[in-house]
């Protein structure tokens, strides 16, 4: 573990391998999500696995302003500052949305982006996407209300059921429940970032880097529709479906994800 400090920004990260830099960004603790992919890439790339705000030793989001994707993208700037090397960004869920934002900001420095089911739900505030937009805001507001009322167990159970399906919480072991419970309060800040009414397609879909959008066609409808909105805005981007892989494909289907990511990176970096 290395804690990188750039000005007021602190980010917890790990580094393995040697070669062109590849930054891995997830919405859960990096070691749990990315350790297998990092190992699969380390013979060719310098892999930087970072934790977003509230994960690992990266401080939770603080301050008078609500979290934004641009605020999370500062972490990417922190771990890539001081170099002009071209790099790749690979993100999952919240991390995928952060990767897309960072790719716009870093511009020509980014050689490739791989985004697994980005949670940029604010992009659903558009005609034809009203039902999904309402569903994610309702889940955000339920979580906020339950935590405010001190109903922490119901908040955790409801969040699990939303992301992983009804009854998922009851199927988990205590070890599997722990990371969900530990981070539940921070989920509110993340909801602020991904439902930010100021977030636009220009913030996420104007980077010049070749980009691959990856999703399960049977994933949660709001997640699927975010990918659709991005693909419609950027028909030049590559879109890959992984049927049956689910939202947590980097964790549950490394047999599909590792060769897919490596092949795309080898093509562009």
31-80 pLDDT, tens digit per residue, is 678 989 999 999 999 999 998 988 777 888 886 789 999 999 999 999 99
Write the CB contacts of 225 (distance below 8 Å, at least 6 apart in sequence).
Answer: 124, 129, 132
Mean pLDDT of the chain: 92
Beta-sheet strand order (sheet of 110-116)? 2-6, 9-16, 46-50, 21-25, 87-92, 110-116, 211-215, 238-241
pLDDT value at residue 56:
77
Question: What sign for the dihedral angle of Cα 94, 250, 49, 22?
Answer: negative
pLDDT value at residue 31:
64
pLDDT value at residue 3:
63
Two tokens, residue 8: 């007021």
Residue 76 CB burial class (10 angstroms; 0-12, 13-18, ≥19)? buried
Is a pLDDT exceeding 80 seen at residue 222? yes
Angle formed by the axes of helices 184-194 and 94-106, to 10°? 40
pLDDT digits (tens, 9 = 90+) for 117-164: 999 999 999 999 999 999 999 999 999 999 999 999 999 999 988 988
Is a pLDDT exceeding 90 seen at residue 212? yes
* % pLDDT > 70, the chain: 95
Q: What is the mean pLDDT of residues 15-33?
A: 86
pLDDT value at residue 253:
94
Is a pLDDT exceeding 70 seen at residue 167? yes
Q: What is the mean pLDDT of residues 23-35?
A: 80
pLDDT bucket at 30, cuts 50 / 70 / 90? low
What are the C-alpha distances in Å from 177 to residues 119, 171, 181? 22, 10, 6
Is a pLDDT exceeding 60 seen at residue 169? yes
Q: What is the mean pLDDT of residues 195-207?
A: 97
Coil, helix or strand at residue 157:
helix
Pairing of strands 211-215, 238-241: parallel
Write the CB contacts of 141 (distance below 8 Å, at least 6 apart in sequence).
Answer: none
Write the CB contacts of 57 (distance below 8 Å, at least 6 apart in sequence).
Answer: 1, 3, 10, 12, 51
pLDDT value at residue 171:
87
| CB-CB contact of 215 with 249 (8 Å) | no
CA atoms of 124 and 230, how far apart (whole Å): 10
pLDDT digits (tens, 9 = 90+) for 87-113: 999 999 999 999 999 999 999 999 999
């Amino acid at each position: 573990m290395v804690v990188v400090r750039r000005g007021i920004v602190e980010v917890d990260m790990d580094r393995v391998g040697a070669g062109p830099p590849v930054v891995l960004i997830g919405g859960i603790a990096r070691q749990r999500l990315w350790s297998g992919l990092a190992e699969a890439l380390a013979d060719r790339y310098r892999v930087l696995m970072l934790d977003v705000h509230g994960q690992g030793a990266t401080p939770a989001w603080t301050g008078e302003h609500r979290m934004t994707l641009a605020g999370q993208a500062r972490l990417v700037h922190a771990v890539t500052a001081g170099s002009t090397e071209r790099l790749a960004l690979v993100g999952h869920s919240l991390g995928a949305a952060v990767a897309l934002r960072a790719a716009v900001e870093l511009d020509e420095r980014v050689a490739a982006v791989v985004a697994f089911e980005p949670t940029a739900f604010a992009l659903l505030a558009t005609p034809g996407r009203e039902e999904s937009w309402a569903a994610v805001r309702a889940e955000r507001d339920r979580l906020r209300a339950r935590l405010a009322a001190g109903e922490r167990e119901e908040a955790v159970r409801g969040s699990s059921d939303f992301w992983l399906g009804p009854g998922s919480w009851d199927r988990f072991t205590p070890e599997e429940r722990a990371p969900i419970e530990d981070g539940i309060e921070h989920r509110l800040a993340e909801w602020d970032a991904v439902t930010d009414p100021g977030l636009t397609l220009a913030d996420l879909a104007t980077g010049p880097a070749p980009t691959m959008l990856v999703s399960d066609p049977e994933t949660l409808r709001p997640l699927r529709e975010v990918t659709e909105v991005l693909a419609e805005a950027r028909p030049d981007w590559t879109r890959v479906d992984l049927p049956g892989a689910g939202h947590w494909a980097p964790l549950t289907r490394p047999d599909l994800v590792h060769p897919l990511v490596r092949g795309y990176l080898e093509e562009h970096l």
